[in-house]
């Protein structure tokens, strides 16, 4: 092996080591188990939240679906049934988006923080 070939091989090995180390998962901090325990202790308080919402607050869920007649009609029926079974939840159904624009609209709105809670893709 001549000198330039060794240099190329060594350079490729260094590059490969950098790529592999960049793809490694981040180290988990040692304090992680303590956070899990405190989250478990807070779980009963979170379980009480839906009971409070049922007492009078209405939760709104925004749902986006592309405009396709038969699917929109079927989804409207399912939403009506869901709302009847869950009186504290109101579904805001947006189906005015053309199919060709739907994925672009989702891709732009979700990172901006203005996307729907649920969407059909």
CATH number at residue 86: 3.40.190.10
Q: Is residue 34 part of a domain?
A: no
Q: Is residue 14 part of a domain?
A: no
Closest CA to 92 of 59, 56, 52, 57: 59
Q: Is residue 100 part of a domain?
A: yes
**With contact defined as beta carbons under 8 Å apart, do 63 and 91 qualify?**
yes
Q: Enter the tokens of residue 39.
A: 């989250």
Q: Is residue 76 part of a domain?
A: yes
Domain ranges, residue 79: 46-119
Confidence band (pLDDT; 50, 70, 90) for 90?
very high
Q: Is residue 36 part of a domain?
A: no
Q: Is residue 2 part of a domain?
A: no
Q: Residue 48: is its pLDDT beyond 50?
A: no
Q: Residue range 42-66: average pLDDT?
A: 67
pLDDT value, residue 4: 79
Q: Is residue 8 part of a domain?
A: no
Q: Which residues contact 56 (CB under 8 A, 6 or more apart)?
A: none
Q: Is residue 17 part of a domain?
A: no
> What is the number of structural domains in the chain?
1
Instruction: Write down the pTM of the prediction.
Output: 0.51
């Amino acid at each position: 092996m001549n000198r330039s070939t060794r240099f190329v091989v060594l350079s490729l090995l260094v590059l490969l080591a950098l790529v592999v180390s960049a793809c490694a998962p981040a180290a988990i901090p040692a304090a992680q188990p303590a956070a899990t325990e405190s989250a478990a202790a807070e779980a009963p308080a979170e379980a009480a939240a839906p009971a409070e919402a049922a007492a009078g607050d209405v939760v709104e869920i925004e749902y986006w679906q592309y405009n396709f007649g038969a699917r929109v009609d079927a989804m409207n029926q399912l939403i009506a049934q869901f709302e009847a079974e869950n009186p504290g939840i109101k579904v805001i159904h947006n189906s005015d988006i053309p199919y060709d624009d739907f994925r672009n609209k989702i891709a732009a709105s979700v990172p901006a923080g203005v996307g729907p809670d649920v969407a059909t893709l």
